[in-house]
A and B are shown apart, each in its own frame.
Chain A
Amino acid sequence: MKTIIKVIITTIVLLTLPISIYYGLRLKDTPFTYEYMNRSYVITLPNKVWFEINGSTDILNNDEILINETPEVVEEGYDIGPQYPKYTTTYENDTIKKVQTSKRVGDTLTIESYIEIAEGEHDEYIQKVFFSQHGTFKDNSYTQEGCNVKISSKNGTLSYDEEYALLMITYDVRGITKVEDTLSFEISCL
């Protein structure tokens, strides 16, 4: 009996070590938190400044087209060490279907969007990023309180509204019904 317990203890301890080391690998990443809540991807930087990418505030032809929609959210993957959970959100109504998949690798968060718009006359489609504090926006980088967020969009145009600390990603949707984009947020702090 004692030998069995010894074997169990030794096995557990030996298995624990690589798991712990793997868990500890997160130490090398910038300690910002990334979660999905209240229809938003919320990123809280180590300096407590946060920003959110709220999927329900998207604008199509000046209308908040998804404001009353509740998305279907699927969380996948593990939240351990260098692995972060992956969220897939799907909004769907008569006018639009939007699927967003987020993933974090190291200090970079990427959100892949696939948007299908019903046929009709459309000008532009806008996604919004809200920052909690006014910051400096220069060369597609938001800087505040010692942290820097470098933002890039594969197919959209970035514009920053200083008064509301609001970043808008605009897509020209004239004559098209599908938009694909990859938003990338590269975070670094002092």
Chain B
Amino acid sequence: MKERIVPTMAILSVFTYYLFNLITQGLSYLHNDLIFGLISALSVLLLPALISKVILKKGYFGIGYILSTLIYPALYIFFLILNRSIQADMVALYNITATLIIATSLFLLSLITIMESKDHIKKVSLAILAIITVILLVMGSRKIVGLDKDSLLSLDFLQHNVVSTQMTDGKICITPNQCSSLFKKLGYTTYYHSIQTAHTVGSNLNIGIAEVSLNIAFIAVSSLLISLFLNRHIKDKTISFLASLSAIFVFELGAHSFNFILPQTFTLFLFLNVLLEKELNWKKVLFISPILISTHFIFGPLLTVIALFFVILFNPEGKPKNYGLAKTLTLLSFLSVIITFVANLRGFSIERLLQMQEIEQLGYLTNYYFPDNLNFLAIQYAPLLLPLIIATIYFILKKKNRENISLFAIFYICISLSLFFLGPTYANKFLIGVSFFTILLIALLLSDLRTNKTVAVIILSLLLTSSIPFYLQNIQKYNRFYTQNNGKISATTNDDDGIIMHLKNNRYDCQIVSDPYTQLIVASNTNYQTAGGHYQNLETREAFVNFVENPTQRSYEELLISPDIKRNELCILLSSRLYSKERYVNQDNIPWLNSMYEYEINNNYGLPEISRLGRFLLSKNYEITYLDSNFRLLVVPE
């Protein structure tokens, strides 16, 4: 009986917490509660694992998990049909679904707790404890760098939430740019968004709480997945768990492997599921590949090809005769790192050679060049680098490896580094998953050297401890963009709450025009279409500012013909962000007016008198429908 204490306690705690707070504090309390957010996010991410185990009778993770994630796009399609046929409210349907997801997860966990053997329950208990440990560690590290419980650190999350709001508004969104103007390139389908929607819209969470909880849950579940993979090869749970912690406490800037949940990182997560599948073969990889590809159009195909290499040449369950081929391929990939590095050293990069048009649009080079690129790697992987180099040399020189997995780890790292040195735009994204394969290789080395378990645990603990200062500092550098003038670190400000509430409660039939950052906030929280969101064209930014400063018929007409203005019915939203430009000494060098990727986050500067603008807009039949110290919304009544 005592083996079942942990899962039983977990189920009862979640159930009691949910009911107690629902009754005593009400539903709105839960929408702003991080613990409830974590319950929701863990349920969304673990439900496919439980379905895979209980219903599909496969492992928690693996291809069964990937197939089970299909419930989320399936739910979206089902709700969309209901919406189109009987005008069902999709938000309400998602709200009900979120409760059902939590309830079903608890029910399936209860079934496992009752039905499975003692040995199995012991493993489940360890998994639950591991998840709780990781959550506490991540929350602790967030506290150290000054983050609050709702500190949202990803503009991408806001951008993806725009799709969630549009999806639940009954729009057909097979790809994000089908229903949102915020996606300039076609990078993925809405497979990932269907999962985010179940959490953010489903549980109706405050957007900051939604992002923080989904990310922490993602890190915790990823850590579990990594532990399971390592344990298969290392055969030691403690070492595997410590190694998994070392992998997640690497802040891979750009790639964000296990730091944030995004389409690219979710693809990596699914890829690791593929690798974890027992008796994996090429047919299974090809069968599952559409899901990987639809999650991300670049990393999906890339990781599918790598998974095929894994199956054909490296899979430890594969034929031993492949060892020679595996080693040759690994050596070739190692050679490619040297060649691409030398090319990079000589000034070569894909972005400079073939992507100059994109670079001109961006206004800057996206990659680091020698010696900054090496410095970037050193600061990112810091204490893991030297052990990685030793492990790589050791396994390459070794005549016969016990398993091909060590060669596969080298192969993966070499491919990633080669792509990094080749330097297509945002090449650091190609380092995705390198932290995992690095720690895998180090753990395999310790295992291969037959290191005493205590010594191995000490070494991994020291590596983890050494990684944390680098991890924290890299986060701190990353947070600089999100640091507000009141000291809060977050992409969202409380100053925007009023207008969001107003727009949610009133459905104006118009396109919102404002500064790019306000547009992102509005688009990610409401169903309104904006003039290009945060990717608002520079011409539109200039035309809007020009109109606000100099409201004439001509400047108004220039605004109307700007690239992002799609309708004649405009809702003009004046924010204090627009007027923040007055603070700059050099009026020709306002960051957000000169670069598509610069924004003004703070919105607490107050608004000046707008008598001239007000008179002009009144003459065009606009009326002020919302007013606070930092916003004025002007709308033409229907």
Against B, the Cβ 8 Å flags (1 = close, 0 = not) of A122-164 are: 0000000011111000000000111000000000000000001
B476 A24 Cβ-Cβ under 8 A? no
Among B386, B394, B450, B585, the residue within 8 A (CB) of A164 is B585
B487 at the interface (CB under 8 A from A): yes
| Residues in chain A near residue B185, CB distance under 8 A | none
B450 — nearest CB in chain A belongs to which residue? Answer: A2
Q: Would A16 and B485 be within 8 Å (CB), given that A8-B390, A23-B469, A144-B583 are in contact?
A: no
Among A13, A17, A26, the residue within 8 A (CB) of B387 is A13
B485 A145 Cβ-Cβ under 8 A? yes
Against A, the Cβ 8 Å flags (1 = close, 0 = not) of B375-397 are: 00000001100110010001000
CA distance A26 to B476 in the complex (A): 10
| Residues in chain A near residue B484, CB distance under 8 A | 47, 146
Q: Would A23 and B470 be within 8 Å (CB), given that A6-B451, A144-B583, A145-B602 are in contact?
A: yes
A16 B450 Cβ-Cβ under 8 A? no
B583 A134 Cβ-Cβ under 8 A? yes
Number of A residues, CB within 8 Å of B:
34
Which of A21, A144, A146, A164 has the largest count of B CB atoms less than 10 A from its CB? A146
Among A6, A134, A146, the residue within 8 A (CB) of B486 is A146
| Residues in chain B near residue A134, CB distance under 8 A | 582-585
CA distance A132 to B394 in the complex (A): 53
Against B, the Cβ 8 Å flags (1 = close, 0 = not) of A159-190 are: 00000110000000000000000000000011
B477 at the interface (CB under 8 A from A): yes
B449 at the interface (CB under 8 A from A): yes
B583 A133 Cβ-Cβ under 8 A? yes
| Residues in chain B near residue A62, CB distance under 8 A | none
B467 at the interface (CB under 8 A from A): yes
CA distance A139 to B348 in the complex (A): 52
A145 — nearest CB in chain B belongs to which residue? Answer: B485
Q: Would A20 and B480 be within 8 Å (CB), given that A2-B449, A134-B585, A146-B485 are in contact?
A: no
A101 CB to nearest B CB, Å? 25
B393 CB to nearest A CB, Å? 9
B580 CB to nearest A CB, Å? 9
| Residues in chain B near residue A23, CB distance under 8 A | 382, 469-470, 473
Q: Would A20 and B583 be within 8 Å (CB), given that A13-B459, A146-B485, A190-B486 are in contact?
A: no
A10 B459 Cβ-Cβ under 8 A? yes
Number of B residues, CB within 8 Å of A:
40
CA distance A4 to B422 in the complex (A): 36
CA distance A52 to B59 in the complex (A): 59
Among A13, A47, A144, A165, the residue within 8 A (CB) of B466 is A13
B394 — nearest CB in chain A belongs to which residue? Answer: A5
| Residues in chain B near residue A27, CB distance under 8 A | 144-145, 469, 472-473, 476
Among A9, A31, A48, A189, the residue within 8 A (CB) of B487 is A189
Against A, the Cβ 8 Å flags (1 = close, 0 = not) of B217-249 are: 000000000000000000000000000000000
B465 at the interface (CB under 8 A from A): yes
| Residues in chain A near residue B463, CB distance under 8 A | 13, 16
B586 at the interface (CB under 8 A from A): yes
| Residues in chain A near residue B466, CB distance under 8 A | 13, 16-17, 19-21
B483 at the interface (CB under 8 A from A): yes
B446 — nearest CB in chain A belongs to which residue? Answer: A9
Against A, the Cβ 8 Å flags (1 = close, 0 = not) of B581-595 are: 011111000010000
- Which residues B288-313 have CB closer than 8 A to chain A? none
Q: Would A5 and B585 be within 8 Å (CB), given that A17-B465, A24-B470, A27-B472 are in contact?
A: no
A42 CB to nearest B CB, Å? 14
A14 at the interface (CB under 8 A from B): yes
| Residues in chain B near residue A5, CB distance under 8 A | 390, 394, 445, 449
| Residues in chain A near residue B487, CB distance under 8 A | 146, 189-190
A12 at the interface (CB under 8 A from B): yes
A46 B449 Cβ-Cβ under 8 A? no
| Residues in chain A near residue B468, CB distance under 8 A | 20, 24
CA distance A20 to B451 in the complex (A): 24
B1 at the interface (CB under 8 A from A): no
| Residues in chain B near residue A12, CB distance under 8 A | 386-387, 390
A9 B469 Cβ-Cβ under 8 A? no
Which of A6, A21, A164 has the largest count of B CB atoms less than 10 A from its CB? A6
B9 at the interface (CB under 8 A from A): no
Q: Would A132 and B586 be within 8 Å (CB), given that A16-B462, A24-B472, A47-B483 are in contact?
A: yes
Among A6, A24, A165, the residue within 8 A (CB) of B469 is A24
| Residues in chain B near residue A24, CB distance under 8 A | 468-470, 472-473
| Residues in chain B near residue A13, CB distance under 8 A | 383, 387, 459, 462-463, 466
B451 A21 Cβ-Cβ under 8 A? no
B115 at the interface (CB under 8 A from A): no
- Which residues A10-47 have CB closer than 8 A to chain B? 10, 12-14, 16-17, 19-21, 23-24, 26-27, 31, 46-47
CA distance A2 to B448 in the complex (A): 9
B455 at the interface (CB under 8 A from A): yes
Which of A2, A20, A146 has the largest count of B CB atoms less than 10 A from its CB? A20
A9 CB to nearest B CB, Å? 6
CA distance A185 to B586 in the complex (A): 23
Against A, the Cβ 8 Å flags (1 = close, 0 = not) of B531-547 are: 00000000000000000
CA distance A49 to B445 in the complex (A): 47
| Residues in chain A near residue B451, CB distance under 8 A | 6
A26 B473 Cβ-Cβ under 8 A? yes
| Residues in chain B near residue A16, CB distance under 8 A | 382-383, 386, 462-463, 466
A31 B476 Cβ-Cβ under 8 A? yes
| Residues in chain A near residue B483, CB distance under 8 A | 46-48
CA distance A62 to B485 in the complex (A): 37
| Residues in chain B near residue A48, CB distance under 8 A | 480, 483, 591
- Which residues A46-87 have CB closer than 8 A to chain B? 46-48
CA distance A27 to B144 in the complex (A): 9
A24 — nearest CB in chain B belongs to which residue? Answer: B469
| Residues in chain A near residue B586, CB distance under 8 A | 132
B467 — nearest CB in chain A belongs to which residue? Answer: A20
| Residues in chain A near residue B383, CB distance under 8 A | 13, 16-17, 20
| Residues in chain A near residue B465, CB distance under 8 A | 17, 20
Q: Would A6 and B583 be within 8 Å (CB), given that A16-B462, A145-B602 are in contact?
A: no
- Which residues B568-606 have CB closer than 8 A to chain A? 582-586, 591, 602
| Residues in chain A near residue B591, CB distance under 8 A | 48
B448 — nearest CB in chain A belongs to which residue? Answer: A2
Against A, the Cβ 8 Å flags (1 = close, 0 = not) of B465-508 are: 11111101100110010011111000000000000000000000
A9 B472 Cβ-Cβ under 8 A? no
B485 A47 Cβ-Cβ under 8 A? yes
B399 CB to nearest A CB, Å? 12
Which of B145, B459, B466 has the largest count of A CB atoms less than 10 A from its CB? B466
What are 25 A-B residue pairs whose CB atoms fall within 8 Å in the complex?
Answer: A5-B445, A6-B449, A8-B390, A12-B386, A12-B390, A13-B463, A16-B463, A17-B462, A19-B466, A20-B382, A20-B468, A23-B473, A24-B468, A26-B473, A27-B145, A27-B469, A27-B473, A46-B480, A46-B483, A47-B484, A48-B483, A133-B585, A145-B485, A146-B486, A189-B487
Given contacts A16-B386, A20-B382, 6 further A-B contacts (CB under 8 A): A5-B445, A8-B390, A20-B466, A27-B472, A132-B584, A133-B583
Across chains A and B, which 5 residue pairs bring their CB atoms closest together, nearest first? A24-B469, A190-B487, A20-B466, A145-B485, A146-B485
